[in-house]
Amino acid sequence: MGDAPEPLRLVQDLVNTLDVDSGADALETFAAEGVDLVRARAFRELLRLVCAAHGGMDISSESIEIFEGQLAIAPLVLALRPDGSAELVPAPGLPPTELLFAQVAAAVAASGKDFLRLKACADESCREVYYDRSPAGRGRWCSMAVCGSRAKMRAYRARGNVSAVPSGEYAE
């Protein structure tokens, strides 16, 4: 698990500006001057929902419509390179908030199916977005050593296999 390849790193970094557990929000340091932080925060959380859907969580049709609406106001254009290749890039002259949305859209478009490997951790107290590098693409947690271990311990306890954690062993 871990860092996403380019160009998906932008998407991962944007979503991970919020530490769900602590509530610490670093969006101000990530976003360019002039970005509407209220809109950017809402967009970030929609992106988190999309990444959670990549891991199997359902996303409402209303959330999808809102997300698509945000992307619709952030147009992309086809840019040709000197070698004859082409890429989608944000349209010129976009205001800062729409530019951020268009940069995300361009990154997703350039990543192809790799976007499906960008997932939100299944641990509700974490929800960090990570790039699933597992061979089958079925990872559920950003870290097996931390979030995965916690989830497995909770499941073990829920089955009634343990009544207390022995002294000196891992506890949440």
The Cα–Cα gap between 9 and 126 comes to 18
The Cα–Cα gap between 102 and 108 comes to 10
The CATH number of the domain holding residue 59 is: 1.10.3300
**Which stretches in the chain have pLDDT values below 50?**
171-172
Amino acid 40: pLDDT:
96
Q: Residue 147 falls within a domain, yes or no?
A: yes
Number of domains comprising the chain? 1
Letter for the amino acid at 159?
A: R
Q: What is the sign of the dihedral through the CA atoms of 96, 69, 87 and 9?
A: positive
Element (H or E) spanning 76, and its range? strand 76-80
Q: Residue 170 falls within a domain, yes or no?
A: no
SS3 48: helix
Domain containing residue 102: 9-158
Amino acid 145: pLDDT:
53
Q: Residue 163 falls within a domain, yes or no?
A: no
Cα 21 from chain centroid (whole Å) = 15
Amino acid 66: pLDDT:
95
Q: Residue 166 falls within a domain, yes or no?
A: no
Amino acid 31: pLDDT:
85
Task: Look up the pTM and report it.
Answer: 0.82
Q: Residue 2 falls within a domain, yes or no?
A: no
Amino acid 95: pLDDT:
96
